[in-house]
Structure 1
Amino acid sequence: MQQEYERYYVPAQSIWPIVGAVALFLIAVGAGNYVIEATKGEPGYGGYILLAGIVTLLVMLVGWFKNQIDESMSGLYSDQLGRSYRQGMSWFIFSEVMFFAAFFGALFYARAIAVPWLGGASNNAMTNEVLWPGFEAMWPLISTPGGTSTEAMGAWGLPTINTVILLVSSVTLHFAHVGLEENKRKQLSWMLGVTILLGLIFLVLQVEEYIHAYQELGLTLQSGVYGNTFFMLTGFHGMHVTLGTIILIVLFFRVLKGHFTPKDHFAFQAGAWYWHFVDVVWVMLYIFVYVL
């Protein structure tokens, strides 16, 4: 006779959704205030609120991941629940696609519509004369109406190195997945470990890129629409790489504990989906932000 949890397991009430909501609220408020303070060059509490939100989010992830792992290893999940998880992860990644689509849309609007209009295109000569006399439509826009000038971030160097790193990390993660499906535990562990290392190297190099942008190029959040879109797209992508790396680290320790089998490893598969998505976004970002 089937037990009820084999049909569909419904977990007990959890505090983690509300903790996650509070964390995201603090991150949103803190990030917004931090950007405003950085743009104006004024001290404030935005950075502390942002840090509190990140710490709260990490606590939520640890607690929620632990509950999920305990439920999975206790045999409480069923095939129907597995299908629900796949649908949930698919919708989550779709929401992330829309998230970045909005940011790429802002970049497209600035480059293809707003900047040409300011330059007098499409019979907008008066717009040019009234709003920004003498403005020349070009991208990257390396000057602002207030007279702030900057240098554009080139595609070669750190951006290209980071692109190669993320592309290689997708390959190593694929071979880790293959090792799991073929029950080659050594290949699984090594390839997953290399993927995590590549993700960490990417993040370190992105920090180095930001230092280079601020100290040597004068490219900051105060650098007009070019600086705003540059840091918005690369910064949010870096946040996603950070989250993806944390997920892979959790999966790595689960692999060491022998939690996954060739037939039962959706948690690993979901983490791989997310990482490949982040890699695809970076390739698009590299092309439209750095190259074109």
Structure 2
Amino acid sequence: MASQNAKAPYYYVPGPSKWPLLTGMSLLVTMAGASAWVNSIGWGPYATVAGILAVLSVLYCWFGDAIAESEGGMYSARIDNSYRWSMSWFIFSEVMFFAAFFGALFYARSVSMPWLSDLDHKILWPDFVAQWRTNAGPAGTIEPFTTMGPFWIPTINTALLLTSGVTLTISHHALREGKRGATAFWLAVTVLLGATFMGFQAYEYMHAYSDLNLKLTSGIYGSTFYMLTGFHGFHVTIGAIMLGVVLYRVLKGHFTPEHHFAFEGAAWYWHFVDVVWLGLYVVVYWL
């Protein structure tokens, strides 16, 4: 955005693009493959990987076009404002996405469990106890498992994400002061902290599967645990990729202290991911 013309009198509208159609098709393949994978259909993993690679390829080309347009001086202050509103609405949609899963967890804990343990259901569920974290299942259909506590990996990951929020803020201030070296350094530290978080979460999942026998099929606890933490891990991955691209653009000199919304948008997203994790850490691992 270094060449952005903030006083341009026009609103740049790009021509017809094939990228939205290709993105939709790639996402369709990805979701079809994922659905087949969880249902143990042989072609599921291959379709999922192919779809993810296709999505990444399309986004690489699509965002490459947007960067070229910005660096070519085609964007005005009106475009910058549109990007800010678009990113704001996107993050709001992500808030609603996680709110749905937090709502499912709340319903299971505060509505379903007391209902299944009341006097009317004692005949069907004589041994059921309305106590979270439950490992109860219908007539022994769920294998025994151990629930996940906050120590030590979730606590370490909390420290990693909180620290990454600080380093990202330092990087942003350095960019606003025109210190490209400091901006790149602290941004690289932020990406490294995010990658470390993902590594710890992968280890946590391996430990849960192999040592605790905690799986996606482990009743309502297992399904809500993996849906909430898994989707959050996915968002951390996306956020780290975004920050990695921004780091590359910082090194290329694309940003100025006045024009750097790509940095700001990625930072908004990363801080949103941090806040969601704090909610997960308290609700999923402690309560």
User: Within 1, Cα distance between the matches of 2:44 and 2:8?
Assistant: 45
Q: Which runs of 5+ in 2 are unaligned?
A: none
The DSSP-based 3-state class of the residue aligned with 2:160 is helix
Deviation at 1:143, TM superposition (A): 3.0
User: Within 2, Cα distance between the matches of 1:128 and 1:59?
Assistant: 55
The residue aligned with 2:133 is: 140
The residue aligned with 2:111 is: 113
TM-score by length of 1: 0.92
User: Within 2, Cα distance between the matches of 1:34 and 1:220?
Assistant: 15
Q: Deviations over 1:56-77 (max 9, x none)?
A: 1111221111101100000000
After TM superposition, what 4+ stretches of structure 1 lie above 6 angstroms from structure 2? none
CA 1:35–1:202 in structure 2 vs 1: closer, same or farther (change >3 Å)? Answer: same
Deviation at 1:184, TM superposition (A): 1.1
**Aligned letter for 1:135?**
F
Deviation at 1:244, TM superposition (A): 0.6
CA contact (8 A) 1:9 1:81 kept: yes
**Aligned letter for 1:284?**
G
TM-score by length of 2: 0.94
Deviation at 1:221, TM superposition (A): 1.2
The DSSP-based 3-state class of the residue aligned with 2:183 is helix
**Aligned letter for 1:67?**
D
Q: Is 1:287 the equivalent of 2:282? A: yes
**Aligned letter for 2:63?**
F
The DSSP-based 3-state class of the residue aligned with 1:274 is helix
The residue aligned with 1:40 is: none
CA contact (8 A) 1:110 1:225 kept: yes
CA contact (8 A) 2:134 2:221 kept: yes
**Aligned letter for 1:129?**
I
Q: Deviations over 1:130-157 (max 9, x none)?
A: 2x23211111112322142110111111
CA contact (8 A) 1:143 1:223 kept: no
Q: How many residues align structurally?
A: 280
Deviation at 1:33, TM superposition (A): 2.8
Q: 2:18 aligns with which of 15, 18, 21?
A: 15
The DSSP-based 3-state class of the residue aligned with 1:217 is coil
User: Within 1, Cα distance between the matches of 2:163 and 2:37?
Assistant: 34
The residue aligned with 1:97 is: 95
User: Within 1, Cα distance between the matches of 2:112 and 2:10?
Assistant: 55
Q: Map 1:99-178 onto structure 2 (within 5 A).
A: 99-120=97-118, 125-130=119-124, 132-145=125-138, 146-178=141-173
Q: Is 1:218 the equivalent of 2:200? A: no
User: Within 1, Cα distance between the matches of 2:23 and 2:67?
Assistant: 18
Using CA pairs under 8 Å that are at least 6 residues apart, name the structure with larger relative contact order, 1 or 2. 2
**Aligned letter for 1:190?**
F
Identity, % of aligned pairs?
52
Q: Map 1:27-46 onto structure 2 (within 5 A).
A: 27-37=30-40, 43-46=41-44
The residue aligned with 2:27 is: 24
